[in-house]
Amino acid sequence: MTSAPVDPTTTTAWQTLTELYADFTPDLRGWFASDPNRARSLTFGAADLRVDLSKNLLTPEIARTLIQLGEQVGLPERIEAMFSGERINVTENRSVLHTALRLPRDASLEVEGHDVVPDVHAELDKVYAFADKVRSGEWKGVTGRRIETVVNIGIGGSDLGPVMVYEALKPFGQLGLECRFISNIDPTDVAEKTFGLDPETTLFIVASKTFTTLETLTNARLAKAWLLDSLRASNAIGHHDDAAARAVASHFVAVSTALDKVADFGIDPNNAFGFWDWVGGRYSVDSAIGASIAVFIGPERFAEFLSGFHAMDEHFRTTPIQKNVPALMGLLNVWYVNFCKARTHAVLPYAQYLHRFPAYLQQLTMESNGKSVRWDGTPVTTETGEVFWGEPGTNGQHAFYQLIHQGTQLIPADFIAVVNPARPLRDGDADVHELFLANFFAQTKALAFGKTAEEVRAEGTAEAIVPARVFGGNRPTTSIMAPELSPSVLGQLIALYEHITFTQGIVWGIDSFDQWGVELGKQLAKEITPAVGGDSDALAEQDPSTRALIEYYLEYRV
Ligand code: F6P
């Protein structure tokens, strides 16, 4: 039995934070001027990441009190409970052990009398052997040709992680291998992603933790039909059932916790990779769900990716809150959400390869912490779950940064950059990555320190437009830097945000590992499907708005 959540609003730390906020006047210019050590004392290391928190709206007293808040809600004990396999996913009665997926081979973790590490490595070894076969050409399609395209079919955690990592680690991929990702049940997704593919050299990975997800199973059936129809159309295979079975066996593998359902679908269980119910979908890219990535970058690089996660796990588990980067970032987010009333949080990677990272984080953070009840079923006692969003810089600068700089909302932002780009280029004398990084440094500086009316006037600006050109500053940012975007650094970044999310969930007392909020829409979609097909009884059961919308569809469909 996991212990009851502590109501954070009853702690003395919360009381102090409330008082501190009542008298709070952010003054990053003043704070930096009066404390020459501010940057140094608020910059921390975590594995290969260097994290500068100094441009946040934080005084030493606020920082100290946030740390006390972490202690008073039992964060260190909850961290230990997660890592040791306690069933902290209360509403699903499960352990939460994504951290076990990246334990080294010689580690051991007894959970309820069973060491899970050998299981994890046995499954990883299967994935690695499969990856090696595809990469070497030993794995052949039904007509004897090697695989050139791997298509992952999955959605949510069975898609967002693999897509994001594929995009981020493109420089490490094997030449001649491409991955595509089908997720949406909008039929245009399958149509577009199979367009131009050669079925003889295409391998599908059907990735679904439950193997019940409507989108994924529908798309898998569509992909199977596409494969068989195209192979038959070119006479690559005949029309017999055994030819179809051989084609499916050579062109389909699956990843799931429900291997019985994989077999029902017609995929050979020998071509299926498993994982465990203690891995949440949005925490699963480091399990066999990452099989497409293991194929693309190879087992060695995939192992480096896992070691990056593990390095951040160790940091989170063993570092006191005072220097614990995920804990500090999570507590800072609590300060912004609950005291400064921030409603959103931007993540702005200055690394084009990380262009899907904000989308990935949306599921991680919002499916985890978008909750109104606590893990004991009682209502939350304060706001939870800010909206995470973002796009890579510098693109965002030319789109939405206006609002971050001069809008009326407070939007804490994480800026992420790497020192060495995977593809350095020069433009004449200029190192283009330096131009890029200059923007990274400039933006956080502008957001923190702004530009006063006097400074605007001193530039000769006409008085009438001085107010429009003033930058208030005091817009909080965290700067995260790493030497390069290696597989390990990417693993560290993902684990960093997993643990930030966990920290916030603990303060708010919520189960960050269930996702009941996705169920009602799924259930209603099933019920509404006959109405959309024109069933008048089903249509009559709908509320007036929904009925009118479906009638519009029925009137205009061709
Ligand atoms: O509907 C939400 C969800 O359950 C996510 O949590 C999950 O990542 C996604 O659907 C896909 O689920 P599965 O991997 O079981 O197909």
Q: Residue 157: CB within 6 Å of ligand 1? A: yes
Residue that is last in its domain, among 240, 275, 310: 275
Structure tokens at 195: 């367009």
pTM of the model: 0.98
Residue 407 lies in a domain: yes
- Give residue-wise pLDDT tens across range 66-118: 999 999 999 999 999 999 999 999 999 999 999 999 999 999 999 989 999 99
378 in a domain, yes or no?
A: yes
Q: Judge if 468 and 534 occupy the same domain.
A: no
Q: What percent of the chain has pLDDT over 90?
A: 97
Structure tokens at 547: 């009925």
Residue 283 lies in a domain: no
The torsion defined by the Cα of 280, 286, 292 and 293, in degrees rounded to 10, comes to 150
**Among 275, 309, 330, which residue terminates a domain?**
275
Same-domain check for residues 478 and 427 = yes
Measure the CA–CA gap between 239 and 337, rounded to whole angstroms: 61
Written as six digits, the tokens of 257 are 């916790």
Is the model's pLDDT at 197 over the cut of 70?
Answer: yes
If asked whether residues 338 and 438 sit together in one domain, one would say yes
Residues 131 and 177: beta-carbon distance below 8 Å: no
> Is the minimum distance from the CB of 209 to ligand 1 under 6 angstroms?
yes
User: Are residues 42 and 153 both part of a single domain?
Assistant: no
Give the integer Cα–Cα distance in Å for 408 and 396.
Answer: 18
Tell me if 420 is assigned to some domain.
Answer: yes
pLDDT over 70, % of the chain: 100
- Model pLDDT for residues 261-314, shown as the tens digit of each residue: 998 888 988 899 999 999 999 999 999 999 999 999 999 999 999 999 999 999
Question: How large is the ipTM?
Answer: 0.98
Same structural domain for residues 550 and 475?
no
The two structure tokens encoding residue 384: 């939870």
Residues 193 and 266 in one domain: yes
For 243-256, write each residue's pLDDT tens digit. 999 999 999 999 99
- Same-domain pairing of 487 and 532: no
Number of residues that make up the chain: 558
Query: Given this model, what pLDDT does residue 365 score?
Result: 98
Residue 335 in any domain: the answer is: yes
- Note whether 129 and 265 are same-domain residues: yes
Residues 332 and 406 in one domain: yes
Residue nearest to atom 16 of ligand 1 (CA): 208
288 part of a folded domain: no
Instruction: In whole angstroms, give the CA distance from residue 444 to residue 441.
Output: 6
Domain total in the chain: 3
Q: Which of 323, 341, 522, 526 is catalytic?
A: 522
Buried b (16+ CB within 10 A) or exposed e, 429-456: eeeebeebbeebeebbebbbbbbeeeeb
Q: CA 270 from chain center: how many Å?
A: 30
Q: Quick check: helix, strand or coil at residue 237?
A: coil
User: Is residue 51 located within the same domain as residue 140?
Assistant: no
Which CATH number fits the domain that encloses residue 144? 3.40.50.10490
Instruction: Quickly state the pLDDT bin for 511 (edges 50, 70, 90).
Output: very high
499 and 354, same domain (yes or no): yes
The label of the residue with tokens 């099933």 reads: 526
Residue 435 lies inside a defined structural domain of this protein: yes
Domain enclosing residue 156, as ranges: 117-275
Ligand 1 atom at minimum distance from 213 CA: 16
- Could you tell me where the DSSP H helices lie in 426-482? 432-449, 453-458, 466-469
Question: 513 C-alpha to center of ligand 1: Å?
Answer: 12
CB count in 10 Å sphere of residue 115: 13
The answer to whether residue 367 is catalytic is: yes
352 Cβ inside 6 Å of ligand 1 = no
Same domain, 534 and 501: no
- Interval 151-184: pLDDT, tens: 999 999 999 999 999 999 999 999 999 999 999 9
Tell me how far the alpha carbon of residue 516 lies from the centroid of ligand 1, in angstroms.
Answer: 11
| Beta carbon of 282 within 6 Å of any ligand 1 atom | yes
Q: Could you tell me if residue 102 is inside a domain? A: no
